């Protein structure tokens, strides 16, 4: 009977072939390390955020006079409301942590390179959507940091040429952040996750077209690919277990460490907090914003700092396949870049003093400098590595890629011996 | 290796920030029922005249197990659903202090340093040589020394005041996060379950991957 139903469906919808092609039998490189778990984890956190968010929205009230109280109602009176709220608030941090590791893996192993540019760019779009969703969600508790964070960030749109002031009013729905801002942020905070799901589908379709990259950076022969199920389902579930242990340690034992104390004070438009700080995941970009003394320059620098990643496929011009493991200079650059991110994060978290402003400006220069130097470094490194001698499989791959490019240029050319 | 040295240096550069917080005295919050009960009693005697606890209702106290007779005494003719509202109207506080005293429901979560901050603040009052009373934790405070620590010199009495501050802060910690104990208990089971599950998944993973040569 079940077979007959599945047959009935299969004649009308590619159910079995989809499962086989994209889930159970999806060919996956067997040498993937645990760094390749983070895409799956990001998908899991997305579902977690949507589910907890939907239940929170049943009790939350988007109204400046009620929202702070409704959060306390959730925390105190709703059955397990505290659990939902802490899971959602911790989940936001977990989402960024997982995504940043996912991005760092892509950078380290050079997974953004051909033919995976579209994966990288859809990923970049997902990052922007995630940042927008997190930013709008942060306003909803209507605490002091929610209000002033939203005020500072919407105010940045004053940098728009000619119509800056109008854009800010249009975004806020009022002259200042107020009820109109809160209700539209709530509406969009509910909408954006579904856009994210849509882009994730595109991201996955692209993935299943180009297949996963792998630590060696070399396309593996068919014998080195193994079916996704059961090998990677079980590996992902094991990784998920580790992730959930860390996540639950935060949810159950230190959920307040991720909530700014000032956000436990209801928003007060007449009283600016002494020190406005964004959440940890925005700190490096916030530091870049503050490092440029002029508003327009700061906004452009901050926007560029997020968008710089999209240029990676163009900046990295080396023909050496794979990532940092084959390329010592890229490896060094990668670690220095991470270190620089930590410095920027520290600068973003501290109140501006002469010393931190200077450190922030140097770190900002290093940030953009490391992107702009990549074309030269990657070419110099390529020459050096070729001179030193490459491993035979790396050599073979470079040659086969060169042939493909040649063929793409002259699709109709025939070589002697080709069958007409 | 060099990376780690730089990382370590970075960690030390954060230390001055911690040092500023380390000036706070450790409140050693104790959320056992007798302490909270003493704490709410001290709060009703010392703080409740001016401060409201909007999110704490008399029924919450009853549910926690506070003596019903005491609750009835505090609430007078208010219902069990009423919050612990201050006896002062906003207008008269504005007249006396120039501001409405902040709500205390979330106080231990709403300040950098948490319960330790509130504890150190309550005990931070001192008399200057010219007879003024000041607070070294929050110098611009408008609250008069509620527990009288600044004018007490007797050691035993000072210890008594410290104990009162400790009990009040313990109650406020409970009030800011009433489900904390439940959360900690539940976390114990959830994480225990996850550790066992993850170990099993690890063994299954090894078994499945063992089929590959």
Active site (catalytic) residues of A:
208, 212, 235-236, 279
Structure token pair of residue A354: 């002469």
Residues B130 and B195 in one domain: no
Q: What is the pLDDT of residue B16?
A: 45
DSSP result, A137-204:
HHHTT-BHHHHHHHHHHHHGGGGSTTTHHHHHHHHHTSSSSSHHHHHHHHHHHHHHHHHHHHHHHHHH
| Mean pLDDT value across residues B183-210 | 97
* pLDDT at B22 > cutoff 70: no
Position A414 confidence tier, pLDDT thresholds 50, 70, 90: low
Give the 3-state secondary structure of residue B135. strand
Q: What is the pLDDT of residue B90?
A: 87
Q: Testing the interface with A: which of B5, B183, B184, B185 to mutate, by most A Cβ within 10 A?
A: B183
Mean pLDDT rounded to a whole number for chain B: 89
Q: What is the pLDDT of residue A404?
A: 75
Structure token pair of residue A243: 């992730």
DSSP code, position A21: I
CA distance A248 to chain B (A): 7
Position A396 confidence tier, pLDDT thresholds 50, 70, 90: confident
The three-state (H, E, C) secondary structure of A218-287, written as one string:
CCCCHHHEEEHHHHHHHHHHHHHHHHHHHHHHHHHHCHHHHCCHHHHCECCCCCCCCCCCCCHHHHHHHH
Mean pLDDT rounded to a whole number for chain A: 93
Structure token pair of residue B172: 């406020």
Cβ contact, residue pair A238, B205, below 8 Å: yes
For chain B, what is the domain count? 2
The CATH number of the domain holding residue B165 is 1.10.760.10
Q: Testing the interface with A: which of B187, B200, B204, B210 to mutate, by most A Cβ within 10 A?
A: B187
Domains in chain A, ordered, with CATH? Answer: 35-274 (1.20.810.10), 277-409 (1.10.287.980)
* pLDDT at A234 > cutoff 50: yes
Partner-chain residue, chosen from B55, B102, B183, that has the shortest CB–CB distance to A252: B183
Residues B81 and B143 in one domain: yes
Q: Contact at 8 Å (CB) between A212 and A128? A: no
| Mean pLDDT value across residues B115-119 | 96
| Mean pLDDT value across residues B171-176 | 96
Tell me if chain A has a CB within 8 Å of the CB of B170.
no
* pLDDT at B7 > cutoff 60: no
Question: Where do we find the tokens 């979560």?
Answer: B109
| H/E stretch holding A359 | helix A354-388
Cβ contact, residue pair A248, B6, below 8 Å: no
State the residue range of the domain holding B209. Answer: 179-213
- Residue A168 CB neighbour total at 10 angstroms: 20
Tell me if chain B has a CB within 8 Å of the CB of A74.
no
Using CB atoms within 10 Å of the CB of residue A419, give its burial: 0 to 12 exposed, 13 to 18 middle, 19+ buried: exposed
Cβ contact, residue pair A264, B110, below 8 Å: yes
A47-65 per-position pLDDT tens digit: 999 999 999 999 999 999 9
On chain A, the residues whose CB falls within 8 A of the CB of B179 are: 75-76, 82
Where b means 16+ CB within 10 Å and e means fewer, A133-150 reads: bbbbbbbbbbbbbbbbbb
d(CA A134, CA A192): 10
A16-34 per-position pLDDT tens digit: 999 999 989 999 999 999 9
Position B157 confidence tier, pLDDT thresholds 50, 70, 90: very high
Residues B161 and B206 in one domain: no
Residues B96 and B106 in one domain: yes
Q: Does B174 map to a domain?
A: yes
On chain B, the residues whose CB falls within 8 A of the CB of A72 are: 55, 105-106
Chain B, 28 to 87: residues with Cβ < 8 Å from chain A are 55, 60
Q: Does B1 map to a domain?
A: no
Residue of A nearest to B191 (CA): A245
Q: What is the pLDDT of residue B9?
A: 52
């Amino acid at each position: 009977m079940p077979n007959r139903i599945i047959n009935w469906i299969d004649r009308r919808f590619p159910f079995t072939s989809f499962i086989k092609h994209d889930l159970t039998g999806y060919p996956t490189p067997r040498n993937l390390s645990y760094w390749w778990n983070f895409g799956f984890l990001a998908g899991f956190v997305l579902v977690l955020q949507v589910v907890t968010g939907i239940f929170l929205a049943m009790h939350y009230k988007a109204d400046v006079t009620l929202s702070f109280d409704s959060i306390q109602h959730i925390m105190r009176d709703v059955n397990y409301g505290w659990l939902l709220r802490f899971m959602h608030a911790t989940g936001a941090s977990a989402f960024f942590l997982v995504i940043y590791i996912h991005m760092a893996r892509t950078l380290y192993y050079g997974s953004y390179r051909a033919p995976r540019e579209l994966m990288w760019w859809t990923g970049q779009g997902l990052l922007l959507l995630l940042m927008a969703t997190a930013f709008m969600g942060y306003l909803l508790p209507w605490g002091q940091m929610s209000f002033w964070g939203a005020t500072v960030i919407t105010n940045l749109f004053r940098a728009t040429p000619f119509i800056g002031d109008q854009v800010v009013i249009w975004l806020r729905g009022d002259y200042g952040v107020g009820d109109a801002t809160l209700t539209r942020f709530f509406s969009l905070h509910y909408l954006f996750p579904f856009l994210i799901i849509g882009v994730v589908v595109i991201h996955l379709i692209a993935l299943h077209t180009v297949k996963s990259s792998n630590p060696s950076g070399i396309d593996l022969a068919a014998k080195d690919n193994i079916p996704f199920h059961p090998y990677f389902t079980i590996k992902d579930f094991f990784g998920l277990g580790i992730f959930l242990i860390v996540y639950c340690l935060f949810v159950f034992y230190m959920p307040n460490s991720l909530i700014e104390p000032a956000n436990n004070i209801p928003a007060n438009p007449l009283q600016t907090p002494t020190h406005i700080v964004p959440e940890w995941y925005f700190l490096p970009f916030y530091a870049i914003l503050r490092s440029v003394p002029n508003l327009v320059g700061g906004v452009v620098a901050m926007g560029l700092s997020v968008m710089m990643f999209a240029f990676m496929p163009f900046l990295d011009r080396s023909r050496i396949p794979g990532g940092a493991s084959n390329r010592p200079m890229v490896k060094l650059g990668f670690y220095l870049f991470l270190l620089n991110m930590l410095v920027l994060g520290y600068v973003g978290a501290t109140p501006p003093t002469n010393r931190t402003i200077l450190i922030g400006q140097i770190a900002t220069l290093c940030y953009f400098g490391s992107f702009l130097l990549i074309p030269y470094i990657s070419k110099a490194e390529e020459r050096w590595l070729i001179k030193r001698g490459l491993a035979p499989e790396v050599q073979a791959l470079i040659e086969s890629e060169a042939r493909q490019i040649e063929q793409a240029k002259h699709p109709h050319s025939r070589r002697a011996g080709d069958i007409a | 290796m060099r990376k780690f040295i730089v990382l370590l240096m970075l960690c030390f550069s954060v230390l001055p920030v911690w040092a500023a917080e380390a000036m706070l005295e450790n409140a050693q919050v104790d959320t056992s029922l007798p302490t909270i009960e003493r704490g709410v009693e001290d709060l009703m005697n010392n703080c409740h005249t001016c401060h409201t606890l909007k999110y704490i209702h008399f029924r919450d106290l009853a549910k926690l197990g506070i003596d019903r007779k005491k609750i009835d005494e505090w609430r007078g003719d208010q219902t069990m659903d009423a919050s612990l509202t201050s006896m002062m109207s906003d207008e008269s506080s504005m007249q006396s202090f120039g501001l409405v005293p902040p709500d205390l429901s979330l106080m231990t979560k709403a300040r950098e340093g948490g319960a330790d901050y509130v504890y150190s603040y309550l005990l931070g009052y001192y008399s200057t040589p010219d007879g003024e009373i000041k607070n070294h934790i929050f110098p611009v405070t408008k609250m008069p020394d509620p527990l009288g620590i600044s004018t007490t010199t007797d050691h035993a009495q000072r210890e008594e005041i410290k104990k009162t501050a400790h009990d009040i802060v313990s109650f406020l910690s409970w009030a800011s996060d009433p489900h904390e104990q439940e959360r900690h208990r539940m976390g114990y089971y959830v994480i225990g379950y996850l550790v066992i599950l993850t170990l099993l998944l690890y063994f299954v993973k090894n078994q499945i991957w063992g089929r590959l040569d």
